[in-house]
Amino acid sequence: NAGVTQTPKFQVLKTGQSMTLQCAQDMNHEYMSWYRQDPGMGLRLIHYSVGAGITDQGEVPNGYNVSRSTTEDFPLRLLSAAPSQTSVYFCASKGNTGELFFGEGSRLTVL
Amino acid sequence: GNSVTQMEGPVTLSEEAFLTINCTYTATGYPSLFWYVQYPGEGLQLLLKATKADDKGSNKGFEATYRKETTSFHLEKGSVQVSDSAVYFCALRGSSNTGKLIFGQGTTLQVKP
């Protein structure tokens, strides 16, 4: 049972480069979300989706794009990376009991 | 808006000591409250939850009681083990049940043998 799978686990970018963090879940969950984790700030919600074709902004959406073409996948795109986007990113999906299931995280460094 | 405040860490305890990690919240209506745990190098896992006032969530020896009168959801364990060393996050989901969780800043627990 894979659960929530994120790739890549580690990535180093230069300022201005673009990249996509991939997230896939095999639990048929409608709700998926992306958080970033920074020291002393907990987790902050970037974007979320309540189902295929529907996305919305969270607390810190600037600099990030998302799309949801299928129930399984919810990629996060950085169009022009900035050092302020250096962080650990977590994808999560929500089960029927309201519990969030998290991926193992993607550590991004922007130089 | 909704918010969660946790006690500052790190918390360092000896094995078999009693643990309390304080969590207070600000929210309108009747939020659901959660504790998540993050072991080194891993994602977050649900530890316990409570969905209404006076509910007690419990799991793996950890407990937390939803206190609406003090807007608190403190995490406790009677006897910690080295394997409990992790980062603990308090979180709430607003009464609209959109699924969005708001997290506290996290408290690092280190248990020494």
Q: Residue B43: what pLDDT? A: 87
Taking CA atoms, what residue in B is nearest to A31? B99
Interface test with B, best of A21, A96, A100 (most B CBs within 10 A): A100
What pLDDT is recorded for position B8? 79
Please indicate whether, in this complex, the C-beta atoms of B43 and A94 are within 8 angstroms of each other.
no
Q: What value does the mean pLDDT take over residues A1-16?
A: 92
What is the β-pairing status of strands B23-26 and B32-38?
unpaired
Report how far residue A37's alpha carbon sits from residue B33's, in angstroms, rounded to the nearest whole number: 20
Res A31: pLDDT:
94
Q: What is the mean pLDDT of residues A49-54?
A: 95
Verify whether the Cβ–Cβ distance B103 to A48 is below 8 Å: no
Q: How far is CA A46 from the centre of its chain?
A: 7
pLDDT for A41: 83
Check residue B76 and give its pLDDT. 98
CA distances from B52 to B5, B49, B67, B68, B71 (A): 19, 10, 9, 9, 12
Given an 8 Å threshold on Cβ–Cβ distance, is A104 in contact with B89? Answer: no
Q: Does B101 contact A at CB distance below 8 Å?
A: yes
How would you write the pLDDT of chain B (113 residues) with one tens digit per residue? 889 999 878 999 999 999 999 999 999 888 999 999 999 888 899 999 999 999 999 999 999 999 999 999 999 999 999 999 999 999 999 876 566 889 999 999 999 99
A90 to B43: CB separation less than 8 angstroms, yes or no = yes
Asked whether residue A2 carries a pLDDT value surpassing 80, the answer given is no
Which residue in A29, A91, A102 has the most chain B C-beta atoms within 10 A of its own C-beta, making it the best mutation to test that interface?
Answer: A102
Between chains, do B32 and A98 touch, taking CB under 8 Å as contact? yes
Chain segment A75-108, per-residue pLDDT in tens: 999 999 999 999 999 999 998 888 899 999 999 9
What b/e readout covers A75-106, taking b as 16+ CB neighbours within 10 angstroms? bbebeebeeebbbbbbbbbbeeebebbbbbbb
- What's the pLDDT at B98? 66
> Chain A: nearest CA to B108, how far in angstroms?
10
pLDDT-based confidence at residue A11 (cuts at 50, 70, 90):
very high
SS (H, E, C) chain B: CCEEEECCCCEEEECCCCEEECEEEECCCCCEEEEEEECCCCCEEEEEEECCCCCEEEECCEEEECECCCCECCEEECCCCHHHCEEEEEEEECCCCCCCEEECCCEEEEEEC
Does the pLDDT value for residue A36 go beyond 80?
Answer: yes
pLDDT of residue B97: 57
Beta-carbon separation of A43 and B41 below 8 A: no
The band of A25, judged by pLDDT with boundaries at 50, 70 and 90, is very high
Going by pLDDT thresholds of 50, 70 and 90, the confidence category of residue A45 is: very high
